[in-house]
Structure 1
Amino acid sequence: MVIIAIIDLLYLIISFTESKDSGSPLSPYPDWKNYTRDVFGSLQYRWQYNFFSNNYSIENLQRYCNQCSCPLVDLRYPVCKTNYAHGYDIKTHEELLALIQHRIDNGLYKKTTP
């Protein structure tokens, strides 16, 4: 009887700590923690997360070339010399945060990671 009670208690603890966003029942990080790059418009973006308490922030958001994977410098890529000054949809920081958050909230990051 005591063993059944212990098993039931463990089951309740595991069920309670499991959330829809977690990668495993006891994981301290959500399963989208590895979603750190995506393509929006014609540019690739990469970032990192800073996890703290029960929250997180997106940091070090950078633009990269889809062709040569070089970071954007002064609206051009030094390696392939592609110039993004005119005719490209360069998103603002706020737009990018909203797009990333939308993909996380709706589980779309699983389908779009390059």
Structure 2
Amino acid sequence: MVALKVFVYLLLLCCKRAELVSTANENIRNTDDCTYEDARFGRIDLSEVGLKDGVPAFRNLEKGDYFYSYNPCYSFTEKPLCNDVAACQIYKDGSISFPLGYNSFATWSISETGNASLIYSIDVM
């Protein structure tokens, strides 16, 4: 799960379109993992990164005994247990999968230095 958080963090850094400046940590509970925008931090838009066809944009990234898949903005399904998710962990033999987060349960976090993180949950925070 740490590898997926690092991956999402790096993805956000690559996709950042505005200079983000902050004087304090800010956590924004959001029901939209596609965009973040405010007067202090600017705008981040991931809508062009995610795929709309039910397939994850980042699929089967290998780490240890698992594969990880991730798709911002648009949910995807990978059997057996990841249905309508933003992120999924799948055992290498495909026998078990674990939902890691849903697009509808996302929190944007902006650090004091302006680094953006997008944190997904599997249930309401």
TM-score, length of structure 1 as denominator length:
0.29
Q: From the two aligned structures, give the one with the greater strand fraction.
A: 2
Give the number of the structure with larger relative contact order, counting CA–CA contacts within 8 Å between residues 6 or more apart: 2
- Structure of greater Rg: 1
TM-score, length of structure 2 as denominator length:
0.27
Q: From the two aligned structures, give the one with the greater helix fraction.
A: 1
